[in-house]
Chains A and B, each alone.
Chain A
């Protein structure tokens, strides 16, 4: 691996023959996040089959999503798209009465050029429910980028004018949160005015609250979060507001916020791992001219609490095959933990949106004195498997299609999807990342004593 000795990051692009989830999978976590929504995926049996199987047991819990399954008559335009969608929307309204219906456009609607954006506004008036269109298809996007397309479309639904009533409900909610803070904080809380800062990215409620609390500890109160728990609470976004992302795959959302809503993007590393979280908060503080308080100590404490995991990973190598765009941030955190990363595969890299993250990655490598990783956009899984065979890393972070065969060849794996669904953001969840990363390493230590290493013919 001669590339490793180079002094700056190397970016390469391969053929794009890799395994990943279809971006429509974003409905699985978004319908849970936005509680009054309904997701209608307009596609074929192939899309339905994917969702049915990838969601696992979620499918039996009467999810607020459905397929509008296109039949042959829809493809050949014998049926009228508008009438068909209207019929389905009315049915959904009757059964579930959501506050918003999100149309997910798929490959098929792209190819037959179904004008969802044109149909939606008319349908919206007729059905009486807001309809948001997101084109989360496999022609253009990979896995988590699905969320990006949905959030990007939600932006235009965020109110512009500051509504008095909303202010009231917000203070009401912050009063509810009182028990989480001690008295001194309470005093300052009253004086704390929300800064013109919107965070974007869908996180579980608990994690979102934790991050908000970290910022409040620095006397930063945010004006809103996209997406919110319900569609009706979407935050006000005004011209000149600052915006900051919490996930690396939200470049479209960022672009839309800048271009359509004239917001200013804070380019920060992402709050994944204690190092990332600290850098993220520091960057936000610097924008608002706030001196960060006690961050270093907080980070050090977290590293101390991770002491039992660090010896397990130190000096071990980890290979990212790439399928969910979290790879750069995770690699940066793992390098800081003492691991060596030969290769980071990534479906798509927006160098502008991830600029701060790329810089931090480079810095971290220098600080830890490890070779800089090779970053491969649109990787080729076959070529990667050859490189894995040659390099034999201690851990491969990969999709489920390759995990079992790699394990059978004596190579430890971790399913990459778990990082998407696990809680990995903020100071306190660094432990969860390491828990995931070390799971197979720990299992290996345990099993190795009585098991053959390679069991493949």
Chain B
């Protein structure tokens, strides 16, 4: 047992539900007690969703405890099949059903005989994986299922597209600025003359998955969700992936160069190189922010904490592009810690990998940075210690699901980040000036 108040990542079934509800016409049925369907509330509130969340519960109550679910789960699956006519139903185990150890796989097999929809059991162990790992696993499971299924019926599309094309993998519901990022990437690819073959899971239909092999390569902006899928596609169809978050100028330009490696014609590559030059010069001259920061004081100190992906990329950006000293860099993605260490070790003084918010809280109060970039929890720690904080990663609140266009990636994303960084840094200065004046005013 451990005493806990706050978690950075949710339980495994949240990951599965995030993937299931991202797809179109996929329904998830949770094997859970009453009240465990809080996911619906979160999605409806945070995403301000207009559709009913396609998640229902096959309720585990006293009777189930005594006699087992018996026909209940199967009935619920076939009933949903008739009511909603989904393409796929995912039976989602929860912590409760993990302990009950009912043979859910058997339910799935029996239910799929009667239902038109495909039925799958999400294969996640509740006590061993987090929300993000479960999401990764579920996505892989669905992709594999449909690739295999279509391979069997010889419906798989294998011929590469004529025009260069990509799959965009890992965009999901309740992801941090995912929808804005997608829009920005779409715009980018259309400028580069690259077709988007499939964006999934968000907005995709499972029947589109048979087209995955025809793309020239995959793009994975978020390494938390999609790595397993990309490995699978590489293994089966030799489709390679670019796994990086194109956040900040240097990373973004690297991203585009990597893309150019995948292209075959010279003039396409030249076009891209020109594209980089033109845009970098025009938009992203960061000297002003450097100058601004230098003129005021010494090198600013920052602490960054959040998901491995966003933290690592932001650390590089702050350190290389703006010249902020990063005194501590941390993540709660324990499963990804090796990658994280490799990425950030040259850019920060200290690395912290923890899931305990009090550890990071203590570090912040000990090291006293000028600025924090973190999750909502760090924002509140900052509030208590009077240190400004910019939110750069999940877990997040409704204010981090902005309606306005706020991508984190690409050129537009770089602009947004500049605003975020500059405003966060300056907030403290302005506050100090205010209190300086206040004293003078009270004298008069």
Contact = CB atoms under 8 A, between A and B. Distances in A.
B65 A110 contact: yes
B36 A88 contact: no
B60 interface: yes
Nearest to A85: B1
A56 to B, nearest CB: 8
B336 interface: no
A17 to B, nearest CB: 6
A141 to B, nearest CB: 8
Contact of B127 (A72, A87, A107): A72
B50 interface: yes
Given A17-B57, A53-B42, A402-B52, A137 B33 contact: yes
Contacts of B40: 19, 401
A410 to B, nearest CB: 11
A46 B13 contact: yes
A112 interface: yes
Contacts of B2: 68-69, 71
B34 A22 contact: yes
B122 to A, nearest CB: 15
Nearest to B43: A401
21 contacts: A17-B76, A22-B36, A22-B38, A46-B36, A46-B95, A53-B38, A54-B38, A66-B4, A67-B5, A69-B3, A79-B1, A107-B60, A108-B95, A110-B65, A111-B65, A111-B99, A138-B32, A138-B34, A139-B62, A401-B37, A408-B50
Contacts of A65: 5
A20 B62 CA distance: 17
Contacts of A404: 44-45, 48-50
A140 B99 contact: no
Contacts of B33: 22, 107, 137-139
B41 A401 contact: yes
Interface string A82-124: 0011011001100000000000000110111000000000000
Contact of A68 (B3, B49, B57, B96): B3
Given A45-B10, A46-B11, A404-B45, A108 B50 contact: no
Contacts of A63: 5
A18 B40 CA distance: 11
A16 interface: yes
B1 A69 contact: yes
B396 to A, nearest CB: 11
B281 to A, nearest CB: 42
B367 interface: no
A405 interface: yes
Interface string A399-427: 11111110010000000000000000000
Nearest to B383: A60
Given A66-B4, A139-B61, A456 B50 contact: yes
A65 B100 CA distance: 27
A438 interface: no
Contact of B83 (A48, A91, A92, A382): A382
Contacts of B128: 72
Contact of B44 (A42, A88, A91, A401): A401
Contacts of B3: 66-69, 88, 91-92
Interface in B46-97: 48-53, 56-57, 59-62, 65, 76, 83, 94-96
B278 to A, nearest CB: 39
